[in-house]
């Protein structure tokens, strides 16, 4: 851009906020016009350039700031008055900036926003001649991170190698991306699990427990009561040729030498011949029925088994 052409080159009028940024832009503008010598005190600066520089400064001030330079005679004097009034090198402002730096907290919605806020504060401190060291900036950044970054913070604190602020920022942003991705996957998994949990199955697959006994009497063959409560005497199954008896079907998981006693069963099963006190082989067809699925089991013998039963005296059975 040619310094002699103002098209596209504009400095916003200074209204009293962010003097450091405005003064930097204004300096660049004056340098592009070849007028900075009037501010720097260059004795070779012509009167015309002095007047141009003075006018450029005044015309880039809002009405609220004109009171500071209205009676200045030169561009250098106008620039100095603004600097003395607005520059953040006074003691009160430095103390305020240092306190804000010491109590800096994570308040942004993202890591990049958090870093930008910290960098803005550090820039203000540097303009006030109280800028912190890079090591101090890294320490503050690590101190105010959320708890989810604790493992990364400890890794940096235990590191013996030196690292820069830019390295720390890049690693923190990468960790934030990783955590966000992990949270997204976890949410998707939880949503999928919730949908499966809330899935409704057809009513025909639902099992409803009927009131009262729902089994079949193995004495008379009727549904609604058990053999021990049957009033029919000897049922048709006992009168069959195979003289079938009902056995209790024990669940899997019992030891081989364990017995399950059922007061409602007319016979019990034993798998070992050596358990019998007396034993008699069966030479004619005889079977027992399983209480769960009515499966016929062939009988090869029967007899008497003596068992030792331990009674728990402190247990009440109504």
Q: First CA to last CA across the chain, in angstroms?
A: 104
Q: What are phi and psi of 241, to 5 degrees?
A: -65, -35
Helix (H) or strand (E) run with residue 116 in it: helix 111-127
The CA dihedral of 39, 40, 44, 45, to the nearest 10 degrees, is: -20
Per-residue pLDDT of the chain (318 residues; tens, 9 = 90+): 444 445 457 788 998 877 888 999 999 999 999 999 999 999 899 999 999 999 999 999 999 999 999 999 999 999 999 998 887 556 788 889 999 999 999 888 888 899 999 999 999 898 777 899 999 999 999 998 888 888 888 888 787 577 789 989 998 999 889 888 877 766 666 666 666 665 554 554 444 444 455 566 666 767 777 666 777 655 544 444 444 444 444 444 445 567 777 666 667 777 777 777 888 887 776 777 766 556 677 778 878 888 777 665 555 555
């Amino acid at each position: 851009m040619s310094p002699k052409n103002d098209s596209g080159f504009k400095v916003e009028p200074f209204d009293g906020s962010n003097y450091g940024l405005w003064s930097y832009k204004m300096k660049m503008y004056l340098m592009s016009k070849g007028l900075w010598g009037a501010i720097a005190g260059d004795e070779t600066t012509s009167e015309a350039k002095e007047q141009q520089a003075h006018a450029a400064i005044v015309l880039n001030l809002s009405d609220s700031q004109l009171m500071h330079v209205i009676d200045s005679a030169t561009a250098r004097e106008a620039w100095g008055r603004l600097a003395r009034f607005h520059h953040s090198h006074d003691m009160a402002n430095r103390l305020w900036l240092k306190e804000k730096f010491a109590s800096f907290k994570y308040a942004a919605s993202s890591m990049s926003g958090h870093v930008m806020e910290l960098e803005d504060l550090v820039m203000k401190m540097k303009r006030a001649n109280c800028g912190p060291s890079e090591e101090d900036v890294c320490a503050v950044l690590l101190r105010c991170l959320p708890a989810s970054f604790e493992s990364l913070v400890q890794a940096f604190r235990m590191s013996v190698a030196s690292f820069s602020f830019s390295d720390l920022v890049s690693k923190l942003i990468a960790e934030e991306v990783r955590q966000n991705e992990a949270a997204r996957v976890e949410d998707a998994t939880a949503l999928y699990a919730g949908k499966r949990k809330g899935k409704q199955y057809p009513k025909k697959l639902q099992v409803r427990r009927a009131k009262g006994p729902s089994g079949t009497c193995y004495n008379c063959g009727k549904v609604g009561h058990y053999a021990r409560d049957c009033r029919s005497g000897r049922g048709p199954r006992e009168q069959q040729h195979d003289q079938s008896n009902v056995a209790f079907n024990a669940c899997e998981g019992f030891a081989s030498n364990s017995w399950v006693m059922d007061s409602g069963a007319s016979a019990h099963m034993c798998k070992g011949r050596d358990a019998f006190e007396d034993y008699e082989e069966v030479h004619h067809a005889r079977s027992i029925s399983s209480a769960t699925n009515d499966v016929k089991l062939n009988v090869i013998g029967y007899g008497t088994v003596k068992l030792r039963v331990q009674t728990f005296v402190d247990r009440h059975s109504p």
